[in-house]
């Protein structure tokens, strides 16, 4: 295949967990994909290595203090180097790009994702926070521009895979599976004293720090519920969560005749990443295969909404609508960072999120600038609550 027939990919957040696994997929399929743009927050060394290995056309480093050294290293190799968040939002418009993989963390993904959609680029979406914050606006823009949003999140990829060939058949309900994380079955009393190191040990998945804490607190599943609503055009009552500790069934669709389709496989993010990048083709892979006798029992439990209050808050925010999910997300980003920095206990994270949902101004029909305002207002308010709850 010559270069013009390959899919030309931009990876926002190429130095992270999803970004590096996406590059493994690309490296295994050099005849299918060409790396066009790579970006990072501050890990300039890895970004430079990746850019040289994959012969990227351009890179963006968010951290301006790393710009000069990066430019000195890549300029002679003919690789363009930019820095800052405006450059990140602009670079996705490059004509050569066919698809943008959004693998950066948090609210920072919103602006570049919208710009990529506006420029008509298909999106492989890992950055779930973008859909949580502004799902209505983002999916509307994608529809208007004829842009497809391919889910990378394993649960949403599972649903997307179950929907293949079911275009005319309405969904009755979906079940998002959750591993339950490292603290499944723990009581509130036990959770009072858990440390960041304990929360960072996920039983089944090896991921970036923020999503690993979100998984421990069940906020990740809450964000995924809202993500699913927008990706698949569902009503809140059509979405349910089921705890499945083995992480083999990645999610389930139930149709109106009562039939249920599930997608299964070993927990390995490379599979959903590859499905999103390669869609509609299933690319042959040498990923390890599932062995039934290694998993003689697949089990299911109800989530514990009282212990893991974040999951309930996410359902509440989705039901309330407007900027409520944006408030949920901003508060969560602040408290996860505070927990990781040792400033806040595990349970206090939910207390601050609850206070933000109650006290930050609710806007029923937010504009794009309202989302930026809400994000800012919530971050300030959430941060102001930390000192009183410190060491709780």
Tell me the C-alpha to C-alpha distance, in Å, between residue 384 and each of 119, 321, 347: 38, 25, 17
Query: Which residue's C-beta sits nearest to ligand NDP?
Result: 16
Contact set for ligand NDP, span 148-187 (CB under 6 A): 153
Please state the length of the chain: 392
CB of 104 to ligand NDP, least distance (A): 4
Query: Minimum Å distance from CB 44 to ligand NDP?
Result: 8
Binding mask of the shown chain, residues 5 to 24, with x at each position contacting ligand NDP by CB under 6 A? --------xxxxxxx-----
What is the rounded radius of gyration, in angstroms, for the C-alpha atoms of the chain?
20
Our finding on whether 43 is near ligand NDP (CB under 6 A) is yes
> Which tokens sit at 60?
């963006």
Question: Residue 108 binds what, of ligand NDP, Mg ion, none (CB under 5 to 8 Å, by partner type)?
Answer: ligand NDP
Helix (H, G, I), strand (E, B) or coil at 78: coil
Binding partner at 305 among Mg ion, ligand NDP, none, C-beta below 5 to 8 Å by kind: none
Q: Which of 84, 196, 203, 208 binds ligand NDP (CB under 6 A)?
A: 208
Binding of ligand NDP by 269 (CB under 6 A): yes
Give strand ranges (E) for 4-136: 7-12, 33-40, 58-61, 80-83, 99-102, 122-125
Structure tokens, 306: 């009282």
In whole angstroms, what is the distance from residue 326 CA to residue 27 CA?
36
- What is d(CA 7, CA 133) in angstroms, rounded to the nearest whole number? 29
Give how many residues touch ligand NDP by CB under 6 A: 28
Task: Give the nearest distance from C-beta 180 to ligand NDP in angstroms.
Answer: 16
> Which one of 97-105, 131-139, 308-316, 361-369 is the stretch in contact with ligand NDP (CB under 6 A)?
97-105
Question: What is the Cα–Cα distance from 305 to 311, expressed in whole angstroms?
Answer: 6
Tell me the per-residue interface mask from 102 to 131 with ligand NDP, x by CB under 6 A, - otherwise: -xxx--x-----------------xxxx--
* Contact flag: residue 135 with ligand NDP (CB under 6 A): no
Using CB under 6 A as the binding rule, whether residue 250 contacts ligand NDP is answered as: no
Spatial separation of the C-alpha atoms in residues 229 and 97, rounded to whole Å? 28
Spatial distance between the Cα atoms of 12 and 60, rounded to a whole number of angstroms: 9
Nearest distance from C-beta of residue 268 to ligand NDP, angstroms: 10
As measured in angstroms, the least distance from the Cβ of 126 to ligand NDP is 3
Tokens of 239: 């979405």
Judged by beta carbon distances under 5 to 8 A according to partner kind, the member of Mg ion, ligand NDP, none in contact with residue 16 is ligand NDP
CA distance 364 to 261: 35
C-beta closer to ligand NDP: residue 52 or 260: 52
Q: What share of the chain is helix, strand, coil (3-state, %, to 5)?
A: 50, 15, 35
Which residue in 160, 116, 106, 124 sits closest to 141, CA to CA? 116
CA quadruple 247, 253, 258, 264: dihedral sign: negative
Q: What residue ranges bind Mg ion (CB under 5 A)?
A: 153-155
Q: Smaller CB distance to ligand NDP: residue 130 or 307?
A: 130
Q: Is 265 in the site for ligand NDP (CB under 6 A)?
A: no
For ligand NDP, the binding residues (CB under 6 A) are 13-19, 40-43, 62, 103-105, 108, 126-129, 153, 205, 207-211, 269
């Amino acid at each position: 295949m010559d270069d013009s027939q390959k899919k030309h990919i931009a990876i926002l957040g190429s130095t992270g967990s999803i970004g590096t696994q996406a590059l493994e997929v690309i490296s295994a399929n050099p005849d299918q994909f060409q790396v066009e743009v790579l970006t990072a927050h501050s890990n300039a060394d890895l970004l430079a290595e990746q850019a040289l290995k994959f012969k990227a056309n351009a890179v963006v480093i968010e951290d301006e203090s790393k710009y000069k050294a990066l430019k000195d290293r890549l300029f002679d190799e003919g690789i363009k180097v930019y820095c800052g968040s405006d450059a990140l939002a602009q670079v996705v418009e490059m004509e050569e790009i066919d698809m943008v993989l959004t693998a950066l963390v948090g609210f920072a993904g919103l602006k570049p994702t919208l710009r990529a959609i506006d420029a008509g680029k298909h999106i492989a979406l890992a950055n779930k926070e973008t859909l949580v914050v502004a799902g209505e606006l983002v999916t509307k823009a994608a529809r208007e521009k004829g842009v497809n949003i391919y889910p990378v999140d394993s649960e949403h990829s599972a649903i997307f895979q179950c929907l293949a060939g079911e275009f005319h058949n309405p969904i009755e309900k979906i079940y998002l599976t959750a591993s339950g994380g490292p603290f499944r079955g723990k009581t509130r009393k036990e959770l009072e004293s858990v440390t960041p190191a304990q929360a960072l040990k996920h039983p089944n998945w090896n991921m970036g720090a923020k999503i690993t804490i979100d998984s421990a607190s069940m906020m990740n599943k809450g964000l995924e519920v809202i993500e699913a609503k927008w990706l698949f055009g569902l009503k809140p009552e059509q979405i349910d969560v089921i705890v499945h500790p083995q992480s083999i069934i990645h999610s389930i669709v139930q149709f109106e005749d009562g039939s249920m389709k599930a997608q299964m496989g070993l927990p390995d993010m490379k599979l959903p990443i590859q499905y999103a990048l390669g869609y509609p083709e299933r690319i042959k892979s040498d990923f390890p295969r599932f062995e039934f006798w290694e998993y003689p029992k697949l089990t299911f439990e109800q989530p514990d909404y009282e212990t893991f209050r974040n999951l309930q808050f996410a359902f509440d925010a989705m039901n309330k609508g407007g900027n409520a999910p944006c408030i949920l997300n901003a508060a969560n980003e602040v408290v996860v960072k505070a927990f990781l920095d040792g400033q806040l206990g595990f349970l206090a994270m939910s207390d601050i999120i609850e206070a933000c949902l109650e006290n930050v101004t609710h806007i029923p029909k937010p504009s794009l600038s309202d989302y930026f305002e809400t994000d800012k207002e919530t971050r300030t308010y959430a941060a102001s609550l930390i000192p009183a709850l410190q060491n709780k």
